[in-house]
Amino acid sequence: MNIVILSRNKELYSTRRLVEEAEKRNHFVEVIDPLNCDLIIENEKPTILYKDKYLDYVDAIIPRIGASVTFYGCAVVRQFEMMNVFSSVSSDAIVRSRDKLRSYQRLSKAGVDMPKTVFTHYSKDIENLIVKVGGTPVVIKLLEGTQGIGVILAETNIAAESILEAFNGLEARALIQEYIGEAKGADIRALIIDNRVVGAMKRQGKEGEFRSNLHRGGTYKQCKLSEEEIRIALKAARELKLSICGVDLLQSNRGPLIMEINSTPGLEGIEGASKKNIAQSIITYIERNGR
């Protein structure tokens, strides 16, 4: 098969591992920066031009689209889909998952448990909103943050008001979310491929840090999921129509809660913790579905 990995950096661990596993199985694989693709849109013949060549020979793509290039990256994925090229994750699913508010709304309607969350249009009544999520401390999240950036813990009402006023002044929209203290700065990531959990890890934030992201100095270890954690993770992935994703869970006194869903999950931590060949599983999924 001819496989294209849409990634801006071929040296990233996840990209390198996907290339390695694809080549082991005798596929022709290229790493292409989506920002260097030109989309040719014409009647009944959508095409993509990359470095003076047309990408009309591609059988399948694996999007590794960063949050900062979501709009154009998803336009490239969509163009491949219009060319009847299989994508490991659809453009619509990526867009859906990147919108935190939209994701929470869909999951809420589907009955998926999550921390209490409030979104407002620059309300001045911050104190009442904090009460709605159970009082301080609260977590304040930018709608477009990633890797823990734009996620702040406000210990008091005054701190929460100051943070939200600053975001409002920048016209940056944010969510106010219940703080799950019993999680103790840890969360669980379940890696899902084709409606099956293929690996899991528990991430722990460094001392004094409530965010568990590995990019922020967090650590990880192997984790065995409970039946309820598996059920809720799979349900969340299905609801957002994500064939491949990382589902982040918080362990609370009322059971597992969905914290976030990542449509482009990194492979380094999950492969290291689970001791499983996740990259190979992704290539196997491509083989079952690519043209």
Q: Is residue 162 part of a domain?
A: yes
> What pTM did the predictor assign?
0.88
**Boundary residue ending a domain (179, 198, 226):** 179
Average pLDDT rounded to a whole number, residues 108-137:
85
3-state DSSP assignment of residue 164: helix
Q: Is residue 289 part of a domain?
A: no
For residues 51 and 125, state if they share a domain. no
For residues 8 and 81, state if they share a domain. yes
- Which pLDDT score, from 0 to 100, does residue 160 have? 87
- Domain range spanning residue 195? 182-263
Two tokens at 197? Answer: 């959990």
Q: Is the pLDDT of residue 56 over 90?
A: yes
**Boundary residue ending a domain (89, 109, 130):** 89
Q: Is the pLDDT of residue 213 over 90?
A: no
Q: Got the DSSP string for 127-146? A: HHHHHHTTSSSEEEEETT--
Q: Which residues contact 199 (CB under 8 A, 6 or more apart)?
A: 190, 191, 270, 271, 273, 274, 276, 278
For residues 194 and 230, state if they share a domain. yes
| pLDDT digit string, tens, across residues 259-274 | 999 999 999 999 999 9
Q: Is residue 189 part of a domain?
A: yes
Q: Quick one: which of 27, 28, 34 has its CA closest to 6?
A: 34
Q: Is residue 96 part of a domain?
A: no
For residues 253 and 236, state if they share a domain. yes
For residues 68 and 145, state if they share a domain. no
Average pLDDT rounded to a whole number, residues 85-90:
97
Q: Is residue 286 part of a domain?
A: no
- Residue predicted with more confidence, 217 or 164: 164
Average pLDDT rounded to a whole number, residues 244-249:
96
**Number of folded domains that form the chain:** 3
**Ramachandran assignment for 111, one of left (phi > 0), alpha (psi -120 to 50 degrees), beta (any other):** left
Q: Is the pLDDT of residue 214 over 70?
A: no
Tell me if 205 sits within 8 A of 185, measured CB to CB: yes
Q: Give helix 100-109 / helix 91-98 axis angle, nearest 10°.
A: 100
- Which pLDDT score, from 0 to 100, does residue 170 have? 77
- Which pLDDT score, from 0 to 100, does residue 208 have? 56
For residues 48 and 83, state if they share a domain. yes
Pick from 30-34, 53-57, 159-163, 276-280: least confident: 159-163
Pick from 12-16, 120-124, 157-161: least confident: 120-124
Average pLDDT rounded to a whole number, residues 50-67:
94
Percentage of the residues of the chain whose pLDDT score is greater than 90: 65
CATH number at 122 reads 3.30.1490.20
Average pLDDT rounded to a whole number, residues 190-203:
95
| pLDDT digit string, tens, across residues 90-117 | 999 999 998 888 999 999 999 999 999 9
**Which phi and psi angles does 151 have, rounded to 5°?**
-120, 120
Pick from 70-79, 137-146, 186-195, 227-236: least confident: 137-146
| pLDDT digit string, tens, across residues 158-185 | 898 888 888 877 777 888 999 998 888 8
For residues 155 and 200, state if they share a domain. no
For residues 206 and 221, state if they share a domain. yes
Rounded to whole angstroms, how far apart are CA atoms 73 and 76?
5
Q: How confident is residue 130, by pLDDT bands cut at 50, 70 and 90?
A: confident
Q: Which residues contact 21 (CB under 8 A, 6 or more apart)?
A: 277, 279, 280, 282, 283
For residues 8 and 75, state if they share a domain. yes
